[in-house]
Chain A
Amino acid sequence: GQNIDQPTEMTATEGAIVQINCTYQTSGFNGLFWYQQHAGEAPTFLSYNVLDGLEEKGRFSSFLSRSKGYSYLLLKELQMKDSASYLCAVSCDYKLSFGAGTTVTVRA
């Protein structure tokens, strides 16, 4: 089976940094995705990690440790528009298995 855990909610101040952790135990692994989803909208792709290490893309970075079954998404210089749900998803056997999502609220 698949078990993907991430915190339910996080709150941070505009301009700050937030780190969203994701731990997974899955029967297979082809890579780990992070998606952002605003209320009522489709998930949008943020990052993809298949090898261990850090992937940086602008204000967003994602880290993966396959031996620990662990990933994190780092959001820097938070903006109000970053208030959204962040979804961790593991890819295996032509499907994505999602965590429940972390709702990030950015306050002024």
Chain B
Amino acid sequence: KAGVTQTPRYLIKTRGQQVTLSCSPISGHRSVSWYQQTPGQGLQFLFEYFSETQRNKGNFPGRFSGRQFSNSRSEMNVSTLELGDSALYLCASSLTSGYAGYTFGSGTRLTVV
């Protein structure tokens, strides 16, 4: 059974640009959540989607947005990139609302220069 797939694995962008990251959850999983991981702040919650609906959102500026498609695949977008957005972005999928556990993808390493 395939795991959580995130693309791309690595990305280098320039300040002011925008970026879109993709996450394909485990087959059958309908909940997808996104996290940002940095050395200083650790793992921080961005947002969670279930059946194309955002159910919760973390304390990030409006430049961070996401969506989920009918096949449960999810994308997150960051507009007007800042140097501080450099981080590992992790996607996690769950069968329903997380009680069955979250499985993380390998992440997308974003570097903003």
Q: Which residues of A contact B (CB under 8 A)?
A: 30-31, 33, 35, 41-45, 48, 50, 87, 89, 91, 93-101
Contact = CB atoms under 8 A, between A and B. Distances in A.
A100 B55 CA distance: 24
Interface residues of B, number: 25
Given A30-B98, A42-B105, A42-B107, 15 more contacts: A31-B98, A33-B101, A41-B106, A43-B90, A45-B102, A48-B101, A50-B99, A91-B98, A94-B55, A94-B98, A95-B58, A96-B43, A97-B45, A98-B42, A98-B44
B21 to A, nearest CB: 14
Given A42-B90, A42-B107, A87-B43, A94 B56 contact: yes
Most chain A C-beta atoms within 10 Å of own C-beta, residue among B55, B104, B107: B104
Contacts of A42: 4, 90, 104-107
Nearest to A98: B43
A31 B58 CA distance: 19
B75 interface: no
A41 B3 CA distance: 14
A95 B90 contact: no
Contact of B104 (A43, A50, A91, A94): A43
Interface of B: 4, 31, 33, 35, 42-45, 48, 50, 55-56, 58, 90, 92, 97-99, 101-107
Contacts, number: 59
A32 to B, nearest CB: 12
B101 A45 contact: yes
Contacts of A99: 42
What 6 A-B pairs have minimum CB-CB distances, sorted nearest first? Answer: A98-B43, A42-B104, A95-B45, A94-B48, A94-B55, A100-B42
Nearest to B106: A42
Most chain A C-beta atoms within 10 Å of own C-beta, residue among B44, B90, B102: B102
10 contacts: A31-B99, A41-B106, A42-B4, A42-B105, A42-B106, A45-B103, A94-B56, A94-B97, A96-B102, A98-B44
